[in-house]
Amino acid sequence: MELHQLSAREAVARLNRREVSPIELVEAAAARIAAVEPAVNALPTLCLDRARDHAKRLMRGEGREMEGAPGWLGGLPVSIKDLTDVAGVRTTYGSPIFKDHVPARSHPVVQRIEARGGIVIGKSNTPEFGAGGSTFNEVFGRTRNPWNTSLTCGGSTGGGAVSLATGEVWLAQGTDHGGSLRRPGTYCSVVGLRPSPGRVTRGTVNNLFAPLSVQGPMARNIPDLALFLDTMAGWCPEDPLTYDAPAVSYSQAVAEARPPRRVAFTMDYNGVLPVDRETRAICTAALKHFEAMGCIVEEYAPDLAELTDAFLALRSQNFVVDRELQMQTHRDLLKPDIIWNTELGLNATPSRIAWADRERAAFYRRMVELFRRYDIFVTPSAGTPAFDVMLRNPTSIAGRKLENYMAGSMFNAAMTLAGSPAVAVPCGFDQYGRPVGLQIAAPSRRDEVALQAAALFEQATGLDRKLPIDPRPGVVPPDEA
């Protein structure tokens, strides 16, 4: 087995036993990147010399203060999303405004990853400022889905998902607001977790007191995902929402997983959200794995009411915080979706914002009632499989027109508003070979519950064993043409 085919846990175990060195893994990653990158454009910015220097320091015994702690990576190469600063490495946020930006200081989550033996090998591609369900920007262009390079990898942690699926790296850091760790995970048949707000530091953002955007991990399988969450988790003085890492590591919790007793599921929230016919069939069939574990599986959907409009209203306030000043100085360099989202926020009345907060609180209370009866809540992770890489977003799902670029993300956005940890896990492929996934959510701050259920589901399907893959050319399926 080649080194890039190892799981993250296998690679870390070999590092810890000194059977392989950090520099060998850096060179293995560099070789794999050279082989597959031209076809996918997942890691447009590399920092190989910086990675080699870090590897050599670890091999000299430097920077090993956290060795043995939960989440210790021991010299494992990882990718960092191009929204997140890495000291001395070009970080553009996918924006022409920052196309030559080189930060002097790393984001706190990067500092944490590097302190625990993670080696940053490159920056993964993202839509401009992370806004969008397809990964493209004016600085680096489009990132392509390795299962079919004519299709999108999703967004906004698209480059991270592709870097995992192709074996360029063993772990990928990303962010999530309306599904940015979950949708690309689904489209690329990897796993992505949106942690509970405060589980991972957001450090330098201006929305420090808002829980919508989070940092989190992606991996090729759930035990690797738990390992990377252990790397990231914990209190940070630069983020007021953070709290201490759990007494029992996520890796240990996953290793000791027991099936949930009761599982709630919905395929469309009682017809409110559109879902492609084949996606619905694949996700419904996947529930048999929970039944085989002895779980009670029941259809149950909390009322979404007007949550879609509430999400847009609250999301747009984040855009005002982040983009209002750039709208004044660089409007001509911002893509239309960002301008639309920011103006929506600028035009919102205080009454409208208050209404949205009341809608969010009401939905959270309905989710509390759900979790009093059920251990986990399962939905499709996306209403439609990967679409044409040349499109900004799907224009319709199951024959229903989508009104804006976020309209296809409400399965993910609903869990964002509920404050629930939610993990995307592969559950199959459609007739065109496009990956399909489930979203497994748990009560707020019970990230281990979602991970445990996802781990047992993954063991039952065995889909993680299909990775990594070589990029595959293909055509756009006729239903997306």
- Mean pLDDT throughout 443-453? 98
**Percent residues over pLDDT 70 in the chain:** 99
Instruction: Confirm if 454 and 425 have CB atoms less than 8 A apart.
Output: yes
β-bridge mates for residue 263, sequence order: 297, 376
Per-residue pLDDT band for 406 (boundaries 50, 70, 90) equals confident
Encode pLDDT of 17-71 as tens digits: 999 999 999 999 999 999 999 999 999 999 999 999 999 999 999 999 999 999 9
Encode pLDDT of 261-316 as tens digits: 999 999 999 999 999 999 999 999 999 999 999 999 999 999 999 999 999 999 99
Q: What's the pTM value of the predicted model, to 2 decimals?
A: 0.98
pLDDT at 1: 87
